[in-house]
Amino acid sequence: MLFTIGTVLAASAVASAVPARRGQTVSVTPHEQYSSSVGVLGCKINTNRVAYWPGSVDCNNICVKLTNGGNSLYVLKIDSSGGAHDISYDAWNQLVFGQSATTDPQQGGGVNMDYEFVDASNCAGLLSGGKLPLSASNSMGFVSACMGSSWVGQNYELVNIQDPVCKFGWDEKCTLDLSVSNQPSCPHTLGDPHSPTGLSVTNIEYGTGRQYTA
């Protein structure tokens, strides 16, 4: 069964840091379409390694290690689900069958896997430049909640792109100086719906392994 989680960019989607849970087992299901409830830009991360799990996106516990038998990998928990423990279809296929979904696409439902939240440095390779890329116009609720010494607060990057699948905006970094304004400053107008952006997000179709633009 596939679950498509809508994108909701709101401060209410943010939780304070919670203790890392270790040695837990959950039934993990595949998820085809990229989304992020806090506005993480899919064009600047590895969207084949994402967790769409219950609970708000956290400021510290953002990297999950999943293990199924002899297979293990790291995924970014940057979206929330209504109850299912979804992960990217490619990650699910790799963990269950040992192959990428583009090479050997399989189908199936929930598979029990061990998981633990680990230090975010383990997921650094999934991020372009090692920073968490966030929408400058639509992620400020999350950024504000994570300000300070949290991992996100120390490792975020604001980009003038409006949406997680990067269809609108400008591929440019923005700065935030709270002593001047609570809004980021960008080379172009913040939130300008310019298109095309020159960026894109690629999904992998469930069951076929066909790659297509989100």
**In which order are the strands placed within the sheet that holds 169-174?**
132-135, 156-161, 169-174
40 lies in a domain?
Answer: yes
167 lies in a domain?
Answer: no
192 lies in a domain?
Answer: no
Give this prediction's pTM: 0.88
Q: What is the total count of domains within the chain? A: 1
Query: Domain of 48: which CATH number?
Result: 2.40.40.10
Q: What is the structure's pLDDT at 17?
A: 39
13 lies in a domain?
Answer: no
**In 3D, which of 41, 15, 45, 32 has the Cα closest to residue 146?**
15
Question: Residue 81: which domain range?
Answer: 24-124
169 lies in a domain?
Answer: no
Pairing, β 14-15 against β 63-68: unpaired
5 lies in a domain?
Answer: no
Q: Report pLDDT digits (tens) over 99-132.
A: 999 999 999 999 999 999 999 999 999 998 889 9
